[in-house]
């Protein structure tokens, strides 16, 4: 059996709201394997984005451990977490967060410019990714000249600029119409097929979740349903939970 690229063991996250401590996550256990597309679903407030943030090293668990490629990142310093994020993880959010004064090409090239170890020529790499995502005719357009779906594809290309093996997406189609959302999903599938990227996607969209290899359902900070992540899918897609 292959080793998981992401492993959560007893992950708990408590949030302090005024005088109250609210448990956002309650002992989450899961494993995600290389090249999987895994959806995380659940009602608002169930802890989906909190879990994604902990996987990505943007937040730390109150208890439990989170491993990336077998390395426990739970107790790493901020500078060490920054290195992990730069080397291994790309982020895509519901709000595109593109720099409005830069073109699509410049937005995607920017992370390469600031990489500690530059592996690519910024403009060449940015062009390659944008063309792969069907944006080759929009290289020199600024965000306000692009549709929502086009902006999200630029954001995906930017997240992939330094070739991270893991892509985390938080409601990537949340602000898009159904056609644009479908284009973004096709882009993610193409990335997995092209690069072997492991993709973890938080969504409220059941139709989007149904296109994943596996689905984990969070309710009240616990994984309630979903294929137990003890092994990667065999013989293609596994049945989905609801």
pLDDT tens profile 82-109? 888 888 999 998 888 899 999 999 999 9
Which pLDDT score, from 0 to 100, does residue 89 have?
94
Domain count, the chain: 1
Q: Is residue 161 in a domain? A: yes
40, part of any domain: yes
List the single range of 87-91, 98-102, 160-164, 181-185 with lowest mean pLDDT.
Answer: 181-185
Residue range 47-77, pLDDT digits in tens? 999 999 999 999 999 999 999 999 999 888 8
Q: For position 41, what pLDDT does the model report? A: 93
Q: What is the pTM of this model?
A: 0.85
**pLDDT of amino acid 232:** 52
Rank 10-14, 42-46, 191-195 by mean pLDDT and report only the highest.
10-14
Show the domain range for 44. 6-226
Q: Tokens in use for 216?
A: 């984990």
Q: Is residue 233 part of a domain?
A: no
Q: Is the pLDDT of residue 31 over 70?
A: yes
Rounded to 10 degrees, the C-alpha dihedral 122/128/131/133 comes to -90
Q: What is the CATH number of the domain that holds 97?
A: 3.40.50.300
Q: Of 123-132, 144-153, 184-193, 218-227, where does mean pLDDT reach its minimum?
A: 218-227
């Amino acid at each position: 059996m292959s080793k998981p690229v992401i492993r959560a063991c007893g992950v708990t996250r408590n949030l302090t709201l005024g005088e109250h401590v609210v448990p956002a996550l309650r002992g989450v256990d899961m494993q995600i394997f290389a090249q999987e597309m895994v959806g995380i679903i659940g009602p608002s407030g169930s802890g989906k984005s909190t879990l994604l943030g902990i996987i990505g090293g943007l937040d730390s668990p109150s208890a439990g451990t989170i491993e990336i490629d077998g390395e426990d990142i739970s107790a790493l310093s901020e500078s060490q977490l920054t290195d992990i994020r730069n080397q291994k993880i790309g982020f895509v959010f519901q709000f595109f967060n593109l720099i409005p004064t830069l073109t699509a090409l410049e937005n995607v090239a920017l992370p390469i410019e600031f990489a500690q170890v530059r592996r690519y020529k910024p403009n060449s790499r940015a062009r390659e990714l944008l063309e792969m995502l069907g944006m080759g005719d929009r290289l020199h357009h600024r965000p306000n000249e692009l549709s929502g779906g086009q902006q999200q594809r630029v954001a995906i290309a930017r997240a992939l600029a330094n070739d991270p093996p893991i892509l985390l997406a938080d409601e990537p189609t949340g602000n898009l119409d159904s056609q644009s959302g479908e284009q973004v999903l096709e882009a993610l599938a193409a990335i997995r097929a092209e690069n072997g990227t492991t993709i973890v996607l938080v969504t409220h969209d059941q139709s989007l979740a149904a296109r994943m290899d596996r689905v984990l359902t969070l309710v009240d900070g616990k994984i309630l349903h979903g294929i137990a992540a003890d092994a990667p899918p065999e013989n293609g897609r596994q049945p989905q939970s609801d």
